[in-house]
Chain A
Amino acid sequence: MTAIPRCWDAEVVGVRDAGPFQVLTVSGAPGPSRPGQFAAVTVGGDRLLRRQMWLDRTVDSEDLLEVIVGHHAGLTPRTRGDRLNVIAPLGRPFSMPNAPLSVLLVGSGPASAALVPLAEALVAAGCRVVCLLLGEHVYGRLELRRAASTMRHEPAPATAEQIRGHVIDSLDPEPDLVYSAGSAKQIAAYVDLLGDLPHQVALDAGPICGTGVCQGCVLPVQGNDGYARLARICREGAVFHGHHILWAQTGTDFEYLVGAGP
């Protein structure tokens, strides 16, 4: 069970630094959340759109919520007492395996923050977790190292070929399932290497409205009915089944969708 999203003015009651990221504890959690869910948070100043911030965990007993904030998010570092407007919890959580499987996590860019609570939950469920982090602005090297059984990190910005090489290495031995987090473009660079492996992705939506009203964050997906349609990352995501996304068409004109289905 996850809570119904709510919009509220929150106060920052705790700040923890984690490399280029901060973990903020804010007041007023609307209820339980699960790995893969996020908050849409205002940035302040003259910035209009919200930023997608991955929920770390709900501090249940105290009605507090932890969100992971990257400096990428255009937020100047926050201090206790700052006020933010928060919409949370948003999005579909990751589905969890119902057996202790071997799992590969691949994180690229700021969205890799989504993998931190996931890794913890997987380890708690007895899974063997291998983690590959790509890129220099990766959150949670420290946090993930604690959870993952094996941790590979490619700190420098890698070429597409290098990224593919790292993914190929991480697929040996082959895991039972794969979770990715990153932008659609980053994941599209290696997704074909995963073949038929079960694959869930948490997508970076960029600046968002967070309510689903503006259609500013769409990508093409194959519905269960077999028809292609556009899904909003901030509303129908941000977690998707990797095999439902039409990776080759995320950056193209969507005219081919006209008349494609109901």
Chain B
Amino acid sequence: MNSDLRAVIGALPLDVAVVSAAGCAGPELQPYTDLAGFGALITRSVTLEAHPGRPMPRLVETPAGLLNAIGTPGPGVAGFVSDELPRLVRTGARIIVSISATTVADFGRVAAALRHCDGISALEINISSPVLEEGVLPFAADARGAAAVVHAVRRNTPAAWPVLAKLSGDVADVPSVAIACRDAGAAAVSLINAVRGVALDTDSGVSALGSGLGGLSGPAIRPIALKAVWDVHARAPDLPILAGGGVTDGGSALSMVLAGASAVSVGSGLLNDPRCVDRVTGELDRLVGERGGSLSALIGAAHGGSETEWEAG
């Protein structure tokens, strides 16, 4: 590597500022890539009880993106601790566990069930799942709800584990939610989750996804993610941001950093190419090398210059 791509998210040091996004990497990728070379691997969201996930069809391809309604299939936190976590730890990757629940109390319970586990570097709380029951909004839609979840998780989590709050990009005021999470004890925010969307099957006239609603990801949402990162960094420059949403190459990773991200995550890019994290890392290395060689020196560098100031409108 030519550049210094190290990053710190809250108190979490990463050797490389490129991680895999929740639900998009696991031991299945090992034949194709070295998971231990990722900055970190974020797990699929772990829930209190076992879930089979959503009905089929679960994936629809859209221009420059995909809609998914996978749900959070998995064995529940007990099965995660006994089976999946040891397998993940054996890959040598730094593990960030994503957790998800439908009530504040259950978020606390999932965190409590993990607190004595070895091999976990941080928790990411998924309060922004785009696929919820009809009419239900994610906790990240509202600053108070988001903060309540962060409190509950923080109370049940070892002090050494940073807690990242994963937020939605499609809410009215992302910075207010981010600041509320920080004030409630989140060490960093993860911006953004997939954006709510639907696709219709024109033959049958019903949703092309088994669960109706889906989450849009991939390059199609990159500008939405970049705007969220920009806005949060402008209002809370000291709050570390893990930026994701359409990061598939070095250029998209660098733009997130210039807008204020400390590190980036790659999700759908790994569904396209299991070597995507390696490619993003390699390209980012070259681009940062051309700009002085230090990634951390570039965080938020696009802010402040008159030519790059974006009017919020």
Contact = CB atoms under 8 A, between A and B. Distances in A.
Given A46-B64, A211-B29, A230-B73, A219 B56 contact: yes
A50 B61 CA distance: 10
Interface string A184-215: 00000000000000000000001111011111
B24 interface: yes
Interface string B217-234: 011000000000000000
B274 interface: yes
B62 to A, nearest CB: 9
Contacts of B287: none
A142 interface: no
What bracket does the count of chain B residues touching chain A fall in?
35 or more
A215 B53 contact: yes
B59 A214 contact: yes
A146 interface: no
A213 to B, nearest CB: 5
A216 B32 contact: no
B52 to A, nearest CB: 4
Contacts of A99: none
A208 B218 CA distance: 15
Contact of B274 (A207, A211, A216): A211
Interface string B189-231: 0000000000000000000001000000011000000000000
A248 interface: no
Contacts of A42: 272-273
A218 B53 contact: yes
Interface residues of A, number: 37
Interface string A201-241: 00000111101111111110000000000100001000000
A5 B274 CA distance: 12
B271 A258 contact: no
Query: Main SS of chain B's interface residues?
Result: loop
Interface in B6-42: 23-26, 28-29, 31-32
Nearest to B66: A48
B56 A215 contact: no
Q: Is the interface of A mostly helix, strand, loop or mixed?
A: loop
B292 interface: no
Contact of B50 (A218, A251, A259): A259
Contacts of A7: 31-32, 273-275
A5 B32 CA distance: 9
A42 B273 CA distance: 8
Contacts of A209: 270-272
Interface of B: 23-26, 28-29, 31-32, 49-59, 61, 63-66, 68, 70, 73, 210, 218-219, 268, 270-275
Given A50-B272, A230-B73, 13 more contacts: A48-B65, A48-B219, A74-B61, A87-B32, A207-B66, A208-B59, A212-B28, A213-B28, A215-B53, A215-B58, A219-B56, A251-B55, A255-B52
